[in-house]
Structure 1
């Protein structure tokens, strides 16, 4: 922080960047003889301290942004990839948007991949785990910002921003709809990918709150973790339906929607159970039209990708205007607007 003054000076910038004041002077006056990494650190420090002067733009070189996706399910991946591809086609030639899919989504593997990234900035879809958070914090400390997308990294103090929907609010909405649309009272099931992902944890928390507020007499009978594996999800739901007679609603916070739908077709007539899921994939749109899936809560992947990229480019000094808000609204779909 500035030393007792209302505005930052070169000494404050030097202290925050961990360099000498002469280096700060060379960078800000573009005298050269400073490595790109150091120049980036100095300009980032000046930007954080809101130094009242026009800052140089040392980013004429190519900027590489890497989107790391930790093993999302295929329909999710397809829509997310299309979003990134659309954004990549609109970027300046000096900006490279690279997409990396991590087959091994274990936190240690994700952390190792983060540490090995050669990108200037990273967009991450991954588990909120201490190992991942530590790697994110290391990248941030080295001047390479990280934005979490779709699911937040609450443990990572250094992450620049979270871009995506408010998952607690989405879960509360699902709870409200389950209570209002159910034709009778009874137990409710929750199916999730893994509570290691902050998005799913937040959705469950929100759902529990919304359901308790609207229908306290409708308890959550079980929370099932499927890791978005079709066979596992179908087996868990089939057993839960047998163990908890009279289930009136099912909230699926993740994937394997079609596998669950196959179980529900055999269990009851479509429409007898309120089934709420996420994402308006072509597969889920068909399930909505069929009447098996009652509501799909959708998030705009292309908009998320654009905002994540803009936030990073602004931090790197490539955009003069402030980026749009990081929170992206979600939309609700039934068979009437699928």
Structure 2
């Protein structure tokens, strides 16, 4: 009986082992034990094994992590953090984090739109990256660093803009060239008469807008009765207002295509000249201001690049590239969506 009592007591002691006991036996800190057992952070493979083995020796009564599978680290590197669509990207990432396998760690890296900041983030990392999702400009230096990462086995996915000269990258954005062509087609079809069409281009050096611009111009060449007027703007409402006012004064303006922001200024100019319903206007993204423009009858079409689906597709590409996806996502671009005054919704663009 005495022996049985001792065994019962010893068993009881093992059941009560806490993080401090495990840390002492494994030779690590309690915070490391917490990260390993709760799978909430980056821990080296050796520390992970020591913690799990110590927990087994102490007969800890809980489901222990699988030491045969290392954590998968996916970086999401995003510049242009002040724009609404990038904020929407970040919201969607936060939403789907709750559904990701515990072995997967998604690290969000928000940066200003500066090449040196992006390159610094690409070079320096506190963990070994398995995959990286990138929203940045396609510059020779950034491209060179991404190609080096691809050569080292990192899965690279570009978002919003495709980097055509990367060796083996994946893309989870829309076909911006086709989006631009679509805008041109609708302006040609919806305009009540031939005339001048204003193309407001916010930044031709950013691949997204350059591709949209090329697609739009290609479509406009199919109808000689429309004259395209391209003007570069700084994307501000005031700049767009002044440009549209100047073009309206010249007369015969039948269409406006805006590839970026500044729509408040466009609307203000159209109202001042009482041209809200007589100029065909096509723009991008279901921003709150654009939904209002649709309701007022000022905008005729919004081309939305479906940011939620882009993020989901990018993460699926990353997981599949790391060997965790059962079904690979489609290899082609994400389909964009079209909204007009009869099928728009009223949900706010940003959830918070």
TM-score range, shorter chain: 0.7 to 0.9
Match of residue 163 from structure 2: 153
2:239 aligns with one of 229, 232, 246: 232
Output the CA distance in 1 between the equivalents of 2:242 and 2:134: 31
Match of residue 162 from structure 1: 171
Contact 1:172–1:206 (CA under 8 A) maintained in structure 2: yes
Deviation at 1:188, TM superposition (A): 1.1
Output the CA distance in 2 between the equivalents of 1:115 and 1:198: 23
Instruction: Describe the superposition over 1:255-281 as per-residue Cα deviations: whole angstroms up to 9, x where unpaired.
Output: 222333223222333121111001112
* Shift in alpha-carbon separation, 1:321–1:289, aligned structure 2, 3 A: same
SS in 1 for 2:157: strand
Match of residue 123 from structure 2: 115
Answer yes or no: is 1:321 the counterpart of 2:327. yes
Of residues 168-177 and 250-259 in structure 1, the stretch that sits farther from structure 2 once superposed is: 250-259
Q: What count of residue pairs does the alignment treat as equivalent? A: 279
Match of residue 218 from structure 1: 226
* Shift in alpha-carbon separation, 1:254–1:322, aligned structure 2, 3 A: same
Deviation at 1:217, TM superposition (A): 1.8
Output the CA distance in 2 between the equivalents of 1:63 and 1:94: 6
* Shift in alpha-carbon separation, 1:333–1:59, aligned structure 2, 3 A: farther
TM-score (norm 1): 0.75
Structure 1 residue ranges without an equivalent (≥5): 1-34, 37-56
Instruction: Describe the superposition over 1:81-128 as per-residue Cα deviations: whole angstroms up to 9, x where unpaired.
Output: 22222322221122122322222x133332232222444321111112
Output the CA distance in 2 between the equivalents of 1:238 and 1:279: 23
Output the CA distance in 2 between the equivalents of 1:199 and 1:75: 15
Output the CA distance in 2 between the equivalents of 1:276 and 1:82: 26
Output the CA distance in 1 between the equivalents of 2:68 and 2:322: 8
Output the CA distance in 2 between the equivalents of 1:264 and 1:113: 43
Match of residue 75 from structure 2: 66
Structure 2 residue ranges without an equivalent (≥5): 1-43, 46-65, 345-352
* Shift in alpha-carbon separation, 1:72–1:235, aligned structure 2, 3 A: farther
Answer yes or no: is 1:272 the counterpart of 2:278. yes
Output the CA distance in 1 between the equivalents of 2:140 and 2:68: 32
* Shift in alpha-carbon separation, 1:238–1:68, aligned structure 2, 3 A: farther
Match of residue 98 from structure 2: 89
TM-score (norm 2): 0.72
